[in-house]
């Protein structure tokens, strides 16, 4: 098994540094948005988007990884597919939690409360994160058999099908959540300096995503080998 630990740690540290710089730039360099042009007049709270949007994009990447892994395992019983599934579910939980944590920070200012049960985007992301949590807990608590893997792969496919619904939630049904502000339109779009910092933030989160994924895959492989050795020892004692 290749040792990716030095590379993964370097990527994680670089990503953490970059993401810290991005949120700092968001507060001290990027100019504010005209409160009259922003929903609920919450211009300053929009600065959380430099992390919130990056968390969301990375969580979509995690669920794409989960989807590919589910397909590979369910159709071919491919071990690499299961590794993708395991890492994707872990990363989906981590970055999904980042989304549903940073979102209420904006919501508490814009809505006067951290959570709105009528907001499709936020609630669909919460459901996605709950699916990832279920997959992680099930993977850790259930016997590592082909039947368990097949069942969890099917659930993983269901989780991925929530991604396009979540992605277009504000287009399908938009009560209070901001629209897709990255895309230029009559009521959407961002100034160039905002876009620059947002892209820098996503690249930083992307580096961190890759680093954590590599490290997570190494840990999962070590756990799998340990379980196999333990089963061999148990059979020998019997």
What tens digit of pLDDT does each residue of 79-115 get? 999 999 999 999 999 999 999 998 888 777 767 778 8
Domain that holds residue 173: 17-29+45-237
Is the pLDDT at 217 greater than 90? The verdict is: yes
Count of domains observed in the chain: 1
Tokens of 232: 């061999």
Share of the chain above pLDDT 70, in %: 81
**Is position 35 within any domain?**
no
Instruction: Provide the mean pLDDT of the chain.
Output: 82
**Is position 6 within any domain?**
no
Predicted model pTM: 0.83
Choose the weakest-confidence range: 72-76, 84-88, 168-172, 178-182.
178-182
**Is position 37 within any domain?**
no
212 touches 12 (CB < 8 A)? yes
Q: What is d(CA 143, CA 95) in angstroms, rounded to the nearest whole number?
A: 26
210 contacts: CB under 8 Å, gap ≥ 6? 8, 11
């Amino acid at each position: 098994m290749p040792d990716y630990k030095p590379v993964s740690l370097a990527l994680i540290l670089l990503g953490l540094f970059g993401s810290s710089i991005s949120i700092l730039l968001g507060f001290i360099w990027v100019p504010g948005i005209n409160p009259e042009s922003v929903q609920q007049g919450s211009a300053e709270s929009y600065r959380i988007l430099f992390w919130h949007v990056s968390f969301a994009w990375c969580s979509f990447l995690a669920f794409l990884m989960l989807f590919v892994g589910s397909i590979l395992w369910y159709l071919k019983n491919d071990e690499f597919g299961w590794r993708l599934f395991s890492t994707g579910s872990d990363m989906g939980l981590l970055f999904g939690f980042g989304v549903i944590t940073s979102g209420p920070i904006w919501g508490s200012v814009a809505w006067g409360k951290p959570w709105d049960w009528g907001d499709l985007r936020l609630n669909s992301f919460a459901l996605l994160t709950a699916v990832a949590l279920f997959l992680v807990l099930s993977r850790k608590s259930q016997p590592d058999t082909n039947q368990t893997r097949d069942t969890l792969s099917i659930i993983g496919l269901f989780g991925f099908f929530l991604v396009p619904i979540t992605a277009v939630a504000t287009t399908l049904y938009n009560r209070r959540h901001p629209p897709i502000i990255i895309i230029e339109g009559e009521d959407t779009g961002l100034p160039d300096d905002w876009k620059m910092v947002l892209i820098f933030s996503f690249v930083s989160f992307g580096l961190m995503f890759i680093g954590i994924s590599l490290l997570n895959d190494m840990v999962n492989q070590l756990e799998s080998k340990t379980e196999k050795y333990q089963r061999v020892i148990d059979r020998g004692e019997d």
